Amino acid sequence: MRRKTGGKFGSIRKSASQKYGKGKKKDTARGFSKPSSGSKRSSRSDRSERPDRSTRPGRSTGRSKRPDRSGRSKRSGRSTKSKYSVRPRDKPLVVSKRPEGHVFKKPEMRTSKKSEKPARQKPESHKAKKTESYKVDKAESYALQKTESYEPKKRESYEPKGPENRVDELRKKLIGKARSQVRAKYEGREAHAIRAAALIGELDSCFNLLAEHCIEWYSMHFPELERIARDNEKMLKLIYFVGNREKFTNENVTEQFPEKAEKIVNAAAKSMGSDIQEPALKEIQLLALNSLQLKEERAFLITFIESEMLEVAKNFSAVAGPLLAAKLLGEAGSMKRLAVLPSSTIQLFGAEKALFRHLKNRQVKPPKHGFIFMHPLVQKTPRKNKGKMARALAGKLAIAAREDFFGEKDISEGLLKGLEQRFEELK
């Protein structure tokens, strides 16, 4: 509203204020729905016109809060309001009634010296009015007073008696409950496999980034290597284990590049790169080591996912392959949810963006596969049939997930057989 927002919003606001503002001027909404002219400045000045808010900020007993209260016709809300925030003002009222009770010798214990004063002044008129009905009401009204005065303490009194404790108790109880609920959510075994699967992609991109930097740096020393090697991991190993190109021999290069060793050694001999100092080379080697360790971590994670998925979802991971299975599982959130999903949803996991693009604009074709595109069977299918293969695979995956969650049998063989068959048809 402060800046000029587009016509869209401008118009909706306008219509809203017309709608809600004009018709209801006589009752409650008056203060709120002064037709807004759309600029911030005007609304500010509205505010400052009201004395309550800006000039007397200290008052916050609830009554002074709402500037437009007077305009409200159907505020039966007053009584409800009092329950929470206006108590202290009502309190003296309650006390001043009490002396009647005093006359009738009941709740004296409560009446303090202070409250006796109004008692002396008032009683006659009260007596005259309702001596008869009083007895009946008394017990009730006393009980009422009791409960009412019980409530407000929560808000206004600062002594840490009853109600304060009640809020505290409630708080403690609910915090404890929320804690245990959070804990229960993390107790599912599949959660760990899901985490690991989510990490793998990230690790890959980290490795690529570091490797790129490392190779770029090393290329100042030996630029030809990148063209010949074409394999980041092996190249990093060569950098880490050998380092300076002058040390390249057939032996130590063969370890990483058995076929290209000779070529590399030759290239090293007549390289156009500059010589490199020991400290710089050391930095490069350390960088190579770090990125290689990421690769190692990835391998550990894969074995972890394999073993974990075998426990959690035997059939599902057998059909999909452990990594893909963990990814799909992560997208579904839990084994339970995965087991009740339709196969079409499983087919499109990971292709949400394309799906919504299609839903928004029907001229864009719908996606045929999401994560399951990386399944070897889908990969091998020729392009025009990939969609069909993906559909078949998703169907089998849905069956497998259901068996895993609701049953105990190992049906993966049959499922895989069916898939192979379908693959032969589509090949």
Partner 1 sequence: MKEIFSGIFENEGKLFTKNLVPGKKVYGERLVLVNKKEFREWVPWRSKLGAAIKNGLKHVPLQNGSKVLYLGSSEGTTPSHVSDIIGKNGLLLGVDISERVMRKFIQLCEQRKNLVPILADANQPEQYAEHLEGQAVDLLFQDISQKNQAEIFNKNAKLFLKSGKPGLIALKAKSISQKESPEQVFRKEIKVLENEFKILQVLSLGPFEKDHAMVFGEKK
- Token representation of residue 365: 């074709």
Residues 6 or more apart in contact with residue 28 via CB below 8 angstroms: 68, 71, 72, 73, 74, 75
Judged by the rule CB under 8 A, the positions of this chain that interact with partner 1 are 1-3, 5-6, 8-9, 11-13, 16-17, 19-20, 24, 28-29, 31-34, 36, 40, 43-44, 46-47, 53-54, 57, 60, 62, 65-66, 72, 74-77, 80, 83-85, 154-156, 167-168, 170-171, 174-175, 177-179, 181-182, 185-186, 356, 359-360
Report the C-alpha gap between 84 and 163 in whole angstroms. Answer: 12
Report residue 16: phi and psi, to 5°.
Answer: -65, -45
Nearer to partner 1, 181 or 363 (CB): 181
CB of 314 vs partner 1, minimal distance in Å: 27
- Token representation of residue 261: 């060793």
Nearer to partner 1, 57 or 279 (CB): 57
Residue 299 class from Cβ within 10 Å (0-12 exposed, 13-18 middle, 19+ buried)? Answer: exposed
Nearer to partner 1, 75 or 106 (CB): 75
Nearer to partner 1, 300 or 356 (CB): 356
What are the distances in angstroms from CA 411 to CA 163, 310, 312?
60, 13, 15
Among residues 205, 206, 264, which one has the least CA distance to residue 234? 264
Alpha helices by DSSP H, listed for 1-74, are: 7-17, 40-49, 51-55
CB of 238 vs partner 1, minimal distance in Å: 43
Nearer to partner 1, 135 or 177 (CB): 177
CB of 9 vs partner 1, minimal distance in Å: 4
Residue 98 class from Cβ within 10 Å (0-12 exposed, 13-18 middle, 19+ buried)? Answer: buried
Report the C-alpha gap between 425 and 408 in whole angstroms. Answer: 31
Report the C-alpha gap between 23 and 321 in whole angstroms. Answer: 64
CB of 41 vs partner 1, minimal distance in Å: 9
Nearer to partner 1, 62 or 123 (CB): 62
CB of 318 vs partner 1, minimal distance in Å: 30
CB of 190 vs partner 1, minimal distance in Å: 15
CB of 274 vs partner 1, minimal distance in Å: 45
Nearer to partner 1, 111 or 149 (CB): 149
